[in-house]
Structure 1
Amino acid sequence: MMNENYLLKLYHKTLKLPFGRALFSRIFAKKAPYFSTIKPTIADLKPNYCELTFKKRKAVQNHIGTVHAIALCNGLEMAMGALAEASIPKHLRWIPKGMTVTYTAKADSDIRIVASADENAWKPGDLPVLVQGFRADGTLVIDGVITIYISEKPTRK
C-alpha cells in the first residue's frame, strides 16, 4: 500500500511483531495520555473505520459496577482520533468540534467501540464521525456522533 499514511504504516508494521496490536495501541494511546486510562486495544484500523476494545475492570467502573460514561466516551474519542489520523488526506487537518452521545443500555461487560466515517466526506468543514459502543453480547450501550472540523493545512514558507 504505497499511499498509506504514517499511522496505517505503523499499524501494519507493528502487527507483524509479537504482541503487535497491544504495542500499537499503547503507542497510539500516548498521543493523548488519558486514552491509556481505559487500556484499549485497537482491533482493526483502516481508512474511515476503527474498532477498539477495552475490558470492564474496577478502574473504569462507576458506583453501580457498570462501565463509567466517561470511560465509554474516552473509547469513542480514541476510535474517532485513530480513524481521523488514518483517513485524512495529507493537505488537510482536523480538530474535534463536538460530541453528542446517548446511553442506550447498561455497560456491564467488556466493551467494543466502532467509529466510522464516509470516505467522500474528507473536505473542509464539519465531518460527522459515527461512534458506537457495544457490550460483549452485542447490545448497543452508547450511540453518538463526534463532529470534527476539517481545514486546509497552512502553506509552509
Structure 2
Amino acid sequence: MTKSNRLSKLVKATARLPQGIRTALLSKTFGRIVPMVGSARIRYEQVSHDQVIVSMANHKAIQNHIGQVHACAMALLAETATGFVTAMNVPDSAIVLIKSIKIDYKRPTKGAMRAVATLTPEQQQLMQNREKGETLVQVSVTDESGEEPIQCEMLWAWITKSQLSNKTKA
C-alpha cells in the first residue's frame, strides 16, 4: 500500500479536475516551487507514485545555438521527472537530493521533449519505509520523433530534513 505525503495529497486533490486544467494547475504550482522549472515551462502531464511524465515545448528560451532544445534543458527535464516521482514517495520528514546524473547525448533533438520517470514497487516501498537511502530512477526522454536523443541515469537520495540541517551547519 502506498503511503501519502503532502505532495501526493496535493496531486490527489487535483484528480477530479479535467486533464487540461490539472496539468496547468500542477505546472503553475510546481513552477513556483522550483522557479527554474517554471522558467523552462515544464508541463506536468501525469504525476503518480509510480510514474511522472513531464514535457517541454521547443521554445526560444531553452534553445541552443542551432534552434534545438539545449543540452541543459534536456537534463532539467529528466531531473524534474525523476525528482518528482521520488518526492511523491518519501515521507514528509525527508528531503530528496540528486546524487548523480549521467547523460549520454545520442543525436540532435527534433521538436518538443517528453520525459517519463518510473519507479518499481520495490523502490516505492524502500522510499516510504526507510528514513534515508538512494535509488537509481529510470527515465526515458524522447522528442517529437518518438526517439531518445539522450539516455540518462539519475541517482536520487533522500535524507531526513534534520540530517540536512546538521550537514549544512558543519
How does the TM-score come out when normalised to structure 2? 0.79
Q: Which residue of 1 aligns with 2:159?
A: 151
Alpha-carbon distance in structure 2 between the residues aligned to 1:2 and 1:48: 10
Alpha-carbon distance in structure 1 between the residues aligned to 2:160 and 2:59: 41
Q: Which residue of 1 aligns with 2:145?
A: 137
Q: 3-state DSSP class of the match of 2:67?
A: coil
Q: CA deviation at 1:40?
A: 1.3
Q: Which residue of 2 aligns with 1:7?
A: 7
Alpha-carbon distance in structure 2 between the residues aligned to 1:91 and 1:100: 28
Q: Which residue of 1 aligns with 2:168?
A: none
Residue among 25, 28, 31 paired with 2:30: 28
Q: Which residue of 2 aligns with 1:111?
A: 113
Q: Which residue of 1 aligns with 2:53?
A: 51
Greater helix share, 1 or 2? 2
Q: CA deviation at 1:52?
A: 0.7
Q: CA deviation at 1:144?
A: 0.8
Q: Deviations over 1:111-144 (max 9, x none)?
A: 1111122332324332111222101121011211
Within 5 Å, give how 1:38-117 maps onto structure 2.
Answer: 38-90=40-92, 92-117=94-119
Unaligned 5+ runs, structure 2: 164-170
Percent identity reads: 25
Alpha-carbon distance in structure 2 between the residues aligned to 1:22 and 1:153: 29
Unaligned 5+ runs, structure 1: none
Q: CA deviation at 1:79?
A: 1.0
Q: CA deviation at 1:63?
A: 0.7
Q: CA deviation at 1:5?
A: 2.5
Alpha-carbon distance in structure 2 between the residues aligned to 1:73 and 1:17: 30
Residue range with higher mean Cα deviation, 144-153 or 38-47:
144-153
User: Does the 8 A contact of 1:65 with 1:108 survive in 2?
Assistant: no
The residue identity in structure 2 corresponding to 1:79 is A
Q: CA deviation at 1:152?
A: 4.6
Alpha-carbon distance in structure 2 between the residues aligned to 1:7 and 1:38: 21
**Given the superposition, is the C-alpha separation of residues 64 and 127 from structure 1 closer, same or farther in structure 2, using an over 3 Å criterion?**
same
The residue identity in structure 1 corresponding to 2:71 is A
Alignment root-mean-square deviation, CA: 2.3
**Equivalent pairs, count:** 155
User: Does the 8 A contact of 2:6 with 2:92 survive in 1?
Assistant: no
